[in-house]
Amino acid sequence: MKILVTIKRVVDYNVRVRVKPDGSGVETEGVKMSINPFDEIALEEALRIKERGEADEVIVASIGGSEVQQQLRTGLAMGADRAIHVETDQPVQPLTAARTLLKLVEKEAPGIVFLGKQAIDDDCNQTGQMLAALWGRPQATFASRVELADGKATVTREVDAGLEVNEVDLPAVMTSDLRLNEPRFVKLPDIMKAKRKPLETIALADLGVEPAADLVATAYEPPPRRGGGKMVESVAELVGELKNKGLL
């Protein structure tokens, strides 16, 4: 069984995001970029499934410009067997990403497609669900535990009331939650080995997918600066301040 894992290049979660002075987007020049954290968790889970002998191959894929090959090489260093780079210079929104991944699914015939539940740059949380709908296969989202047996996956997910357990037939789409696992540390020998692993590049146009932009961002602006706090001496003074601000 193959497992296809998709990753996205995003601003590292430790970096403070800054908006460009002209408001045209987020500053990425000279900024550390990395694999989307939820995607990294998905890749780690796929590797653990393979290490248990429940999968034969882990393929990591990404959509974007030539710069995403850096993150694909990181995925290969973590332990993926090969990588697929779908090349495009155009911004890719969730539906276009799902249609692109469907073409890769038709090409590779994986038993599981694993994604992060969302990307930390746009927080859309849509691609996995859209892919499952287009593929016509079950989905198990927000996974905090995954078990495979007899051609089925038992997926535990956290909900407001506690834990929910779902069983889905394979092939299926899964998305990872934060507590599914802790990704491994990549060692230097693994980085060197990753340079020799196959990385296939496919133009988005060659897959027959149009990078249609259904949503267009016209401007970006940072959130307003927080004002200073004020100490009050009594409950009555607190209530008065809240009323002055129109909060009561």
Contact 133, 141 (CB under 8 A): no
Structure-block tokens of residue 225:
């600066």
C-alpha 72 chain-centroid distance: 13
Q: Is the pLDDT of residue 212 over 80?
A: no
Tell me: the pLDDT tens digits for 94-126? 999 999 999 999 999 999 999 999 999 889 999
Contact 8, 91 (CB under 8 A): no
Cα–Cα dist 60/73, whole Å: 9
* Domain boundary assignment for the chain: 2-215
Tell me: the pLDDT tens digits for 44-99? 999 999 999 999 999 999 999 999 999 999 999 999 999 999 999 888 899 999 99
Mean pLDDT of the chain: 92
Cα–Cα dist 10/13, whole Å: 8
Fold exhibited by the domain 2-215:
Rossmann fold (3.40.50)
Burial of 163 (0-12, 13-18, 19+ CB in 10 A): exposed
Contact 218, 24 (CB under 8 A): no
